[in-house]
Structure 1
Amino acid sequence: MSISNPEIKKLYGLAAGRCSICKMDVFGNDVHIGEMAHIIAKSLKGARGNEVLSGGRNSYDNLILLCANHHTEVDQNPNFYTVEKLQSIKAEHEKIVASLFDTPKERDNDLSFLKIFMRFVPFTRLRYFVEHLPTSVKLELCSVGDMFEAHCKDNPHLYPLNDQNLQGYFDSFIRSYYDLWYVISGSTDVEGRQQSNFSQADERFYLHMERKHLPYEKIAELNDILNEKNSKFITAYMNLIDFIRGNYQEVDLNSYQQ
């Protein structure tokens, strides 16, 4: 039995004609690249085909709209793309689509927060600012905290964010930033005196670790801490970028105005 027209219309409509994973328009350049992938394969020998199915194999509940590339990826990696994971991806994608119309004010507020933040923070350069840690770091990194705090004071109605997934990613990002900056801007006890971990900014706006004034064991300890904090910061930063690109395409990540 083929997939019925009502099932097709429901699938494409609730997914807004976009791949549930990469959000690509499946009608790009007047070419239809969408594919109705089976969560549990039609054949028992197919991807996830031996899983228990409560409804029909060609029913809406067992279908997910994907682009051709992700259809191939999903079927070639059944251990990663489990039934539960695909159902979650589908549900989350359809929730995002519905939110565009169900809660326009809440989404508009989240968009406003992101757009203002990106305008005043050199967001796309943050990885460059920390690439020389633990030895040195760009002073401009502090703009993340400065602008976030100013933004929250000026626009208290925009934060916390309404989208709980966005809030989770942003909260992880900002927390990891503060954890990292706390070490950079902090000090270390050296025989009863407090020694700054990093120097004042030089003419190129770099802060350098105070290696001349810190004992070897303190430098080694700082290196380990900074590497750990920086790794977590970059991970949270990249996760936030991926989420915004996939779900808030109206936001220009490179809109910083110096």
Structure 2
Amino acid sequence: MALTLSEVKRLFGESAGLCNICKERVVEEDYHFGEQAHIIAQGASGPRANFDSLYPIDSYGNHILLCPNCHRRVDKAPEKFPPSYLHAKKNEHLEWVKRTLDTSASCRKDESALECLAEFIPFCNLSRYMESLPQTYYLNMGDLSYYTRIFARDNMHLYPFSDQTLQDFFEALLGVQFEVDGIVAQLPRSDCFGDLENRVSLYANTENDRNLMEKLESIGTRYIKTHAAFMQYCRNTYPKVNLGKWRLMTYEECLG
């Protein structure tokens, strides 16, 4: 008696079409070469037939999906591959598939969040903006904190990130940005230069202003290092995400 069609589908589906031992793919489009191996043999003289089965012999519980090579290997040396080993390998593999799929879903969620943020935040320009301080301040630098607040409020399904390391890097960058925002807000400034980059000059009219500008300079190195760490992690871990999507609007776009 063979497995039912629903049990075959479950065996292949829950295994993600991979051998439970070596993880070789055993499904190729409309063809499969995976083997539905008995953990305890059906026949009295078969591999591991001397063990008591926890499941009916011809049930899903007594089968493991294997590639032909692993199937031959475990059946040729049943003493090395007892039922406990095969059940453990099957359970480990199914857990691995579940974790991998969960991680993939989380990764896609974080990719979507980064893509959305990159539309409004000039990630690739932040270090250049920081280097211009304390004399010149690019108003677009503040988009990091401004749009993150809006994004977090309106997209609770996407933020915080699922990837805790990404969240840590982003929060570190956001933290130094808040420091910059707090100091810049206290300094006198010129009107915008009239260009699309929204630059203003910062002035030190008092001793307190000079102290604030010195503090901005001291933050600079830390800001640039924190920004570089965030960007490097994103590029290594989320290579599909284009962090350079943000662009300056044309005059026509600003007017229209």
Amino acid in the other structure paired with 1:208: S
Secondary structure of 2:150's match? Answer: helix
Amino acid in the other structure paired with 2:103: T
Decide which of 220, 224, 242 is 1:230's aligned counterpart.
220
Decide which of 228, 246, 253 is 2:243's aligned counterpart.
253
Return the TM-score normalized by structure 1: 0.53
Q: Contact 2:110–2:163 at 8 Å: present in 1 too?
A: yes
Aligned residues: 151
Q: How big is the shift at 1:200?
A: 3.7
Task: Tell me what 2:192 maps to.
Answer: 201
Percent of aligned pairs with the same amino acid: 22
Return the TM-score normalized by structure 2: 0.54
Task: Tell me what 1:115 maps to.
Answer: 115
Q: Contact 1:118–1:254 at 8 Å: present in 2 too?
A: yes
Q: Contact 2:173–2:223 at 8 Å: present in 1 too?
A: yes
Amino acid in the other structure paired with 1:161: F
Matches within 5 A, 1:16-27: none
Deviations 1:12-59 (A, max 9, x none): x99xxxxxxxxxxxxxxxxxxxxxxxxxxxxxxxxxxxxxxxxxxxxx
Q: How big is the shift at 1:170?
A: 0.6
Task: Tell me what 2:47 maps to.
Answer: none
Amino acid in the other structure paired with 1:201: C
Q: How big is the shift at 1:254?
A: 1.1
Q: How big is the shift at 1:160?
A: 1.2
Runs (4 or more) in structure 1 with deviation over 6 Å come to none
Amino acid in the other structure paired with 2:192: A
C-alpha distance in 2, partners of 1:224/1:181?
A: 15
Alpha-carbon distance change, 242 to 99 in structure 1, aligned in 2, over 3 angstroms:
farther
Amino acid in the other structure paired with 2:199: Y
C-alpha distance in 1, partners of 2:215/2:190?
A: 18
Q: How big is the shift at 1:199?
A: 3.5
Deviations 1:43-79 (A, max 9, x none): xxxxxxxxxxxxxxxxxxxxxxxxxxxxxxxxxxxxx
Q: Contact 1:180–1:230 at 8 Å: present in 2 too?
A: no
Secondary structure of 1:207's match? Answer: strand
C-alpha distance in 1, partners of 2:211/2:237?
A: 39
Q: Contact 1:180–1:233 at 8 Å: present in 2 too?
A: no
Matches within 5 A, 1:161-240: 161-185=161-185, 187=186, 196-204=187-195, 205-211=198-204, 214-215=205-206, 217-240=207-230
Alpha-carbon distance change, 100 to 143 in structure 1, aligned in 2, over 3 angstroms:
farther
Deviations 1:183-240 (A, max 9, x none): 111x2xxxxxxxx4433423232221223xx22x324312321012222221111100
C-alpha distance in 1, partners of 2:174/2:123?
A: 12
For structure 2, the 5+ residue unaligned runs are 1-21, 24-97, 250-256
Mark the structure with the bigger radius of gyration.
Answer: 2
